[in-house]
């Protein structure tokens, strides 16, 4: 049996010759951070690729969430999902904001709009949904609720790079959207992130906040943070942007093969593509019904590991189960039945642009057997 390790992801890495040329140019300019040449070039290139008006680059994907909340002066309570990476809720906690969890929609694992209104209180100021696995939330319904109650909407779009709905970039939804450019993502700058906004004035405020609040050499206009992306990672981003479509197409082929191979496996379900959506195939989650499949999700997870196939139980446990948040009134299991069921059934199969046909067959064989 082939014992080659198959990991859940593999980063999109820049060609070394291309990177070397950029590094030599950066060294010659002697400007390696603080809004340098390639930083500006990457922001402009991302605006064009993502079909958004303004982008502000960050050094990771968590700082844009923290900074968006600061920029919009969000306080009190924010309605959000327990089915996400902990950074979503941590960004609220770091801003002194109380997270209020609501259940998720099983059709996309995003926040369920039907649950939002019941969670609104006089202290609610915003909604923070997540485009989980890059599957778009119901942005229209969420915006209708926000408008009705005068709430802000900040999307955690860490998984949603390049995702479009009917030709429109998903990142234009809400007041702001954030991206992660971590090495595990479809598009990466090794570490990095971005904040998407709609107007130049907000862009300027964000750029002040991510640079300690400096608006000039001797003027600090706000208690900012150090969130700047450097020139080296900007260069990596420019190179990877030229190759990201090829990577997405390779992921698409893997998704097609997975679906075809799993179509008749009792107890295994997965997402089909959503009509009108350009997906980026960030992840390929499957959901294990133990009664029909014959083993639990955790048993399948361990079985895959025994064959050197490393999936991920993503997202398990729920954020609401962690010690920091489990005492919240909204964190009870009774309030989040769908999220708990999905968290106990989900496993993300390896999904990246370097998976070979043989790799996919080996994975499918393990799930079938």
**pLDDT band, residue 290 (cuts 50/70/90):** very high
pLDDT tens across 3-46, in order? 789 999 999 999 999 999 999 999 999 999 999 999 999 999 99
Domain 16-239 has CATH 1.20.1530.20: no
- pLDDT of 268 higher than 80: yes
pLDDT tens across 292-327, in order? 999 999 999 999 999 999 999 999 999 999 999 999
Interval 206-222 mean pLDDT? 96
pLDDT recorded at residue 340: 98
Of the CA atoms within 13 Å of residue 207, those in its CB half-sphere come to 16
pLDDT recorded at residue 3: 75
**pLDDT band, residue 200 (cuts 50/70/90):** very high
- pLDDT of 1 higher than 60: no
pLDDT tens across 84-130, in order? 999 999 999 999 999 999 999 999 999 999 999 999 999 999 999 99
pLDDT recorded at residue 113: 98
Closest alpha carbon to 262 in 107, 368, 344: 368
- pLDDT of 148 higher than 70: yes
CATH number for the domain whose boundaries are 244-368:
3.90.1150.10
- pLDDT of 369 higher than 80: no
pLDDT tens across 37-55, in order? 999 999 999 999 999 999 9
| Mean pLDDT (the chain, rounded) | 97
For the chain, what percent of residues have pLDDT higher than 90? 98
pLDDT tens across 169-186, in order? 999 999 999 999 999 999
| Boundaries of every domain in the chain | 16-239, 244-368
């Amino acid at each position: 049996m082939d014992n080659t390790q198959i990991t859940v992801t593999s980063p999109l890495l820049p060609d070394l010759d291309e990177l070397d040329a950029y590094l030599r140019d950066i060294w010659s300019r002697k400007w390696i951070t603080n809004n340098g040449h390639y930083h500006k070039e990457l922001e402009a290139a991302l605006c064009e690729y993502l079909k958004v008006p303004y982008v502000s680059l960050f050094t990771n994907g968590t700082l844009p969430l923290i900074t968006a909340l600061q920029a919009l002066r969000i306080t009190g309570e924010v309605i959000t999902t327990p089915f996400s990476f902990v950074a979503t809720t941590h960004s609220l906690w770091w801003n002194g904001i109380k997270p209020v969890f609501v259940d998720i929609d099983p059709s996309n694992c995003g926040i369920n709009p039907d649950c939002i209104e019941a969670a609104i209180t006089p202290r609610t100021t915003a909604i923070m949904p997540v485009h989980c696995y890059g599957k778009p939330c119901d942005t229209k319904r969420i915006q209708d609720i926000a408008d009705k109650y005068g709430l802000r909407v900040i999307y955690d779009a860490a998984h949603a790079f390049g995702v479009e709905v009917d030709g429109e970039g998903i990142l234009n939804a809400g007041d702001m959207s954030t991206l992660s450019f971590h090495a595990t993502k479809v598009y990466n700058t090794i570490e990095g992130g971005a904040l998407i906004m709609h107007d130049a004035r907000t862009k300027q405020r964000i750029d002040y906040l991510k640079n300690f609040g400096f608006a000039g050499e001797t003027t600090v206009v706000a208690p900012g943070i150090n969130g700047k992306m450097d020139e080296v990672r900007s260069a990596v981003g420019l190179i990877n942007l030229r190759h990201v479509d090829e990577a997405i197409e390779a992921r698409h082929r893997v998704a097609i093969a997975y679906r075809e191979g799993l179509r008749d496996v009792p107890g295994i379900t997965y997402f089909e593509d959503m009509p009108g959506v350009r997906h980026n195939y960030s992840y390929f989650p499957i959901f294990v019904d133990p009664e029909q499949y014959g083993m639990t999700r955790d048993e399948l997870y361990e079985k895959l590991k025994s064959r050197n196939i490393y999936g991920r139980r993503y997202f398990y446990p729920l954020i609401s189960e962690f010690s920091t948040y489990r005492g919240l009134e909204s964190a009870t299991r009774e309030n989040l039945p769908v999220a708990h069921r999905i968290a106990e059934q989900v496993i993300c199969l390896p999904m990246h642009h370097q998976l070979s046909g043989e790799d996919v067959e080996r994975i499918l064989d393990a799930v079938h057997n």
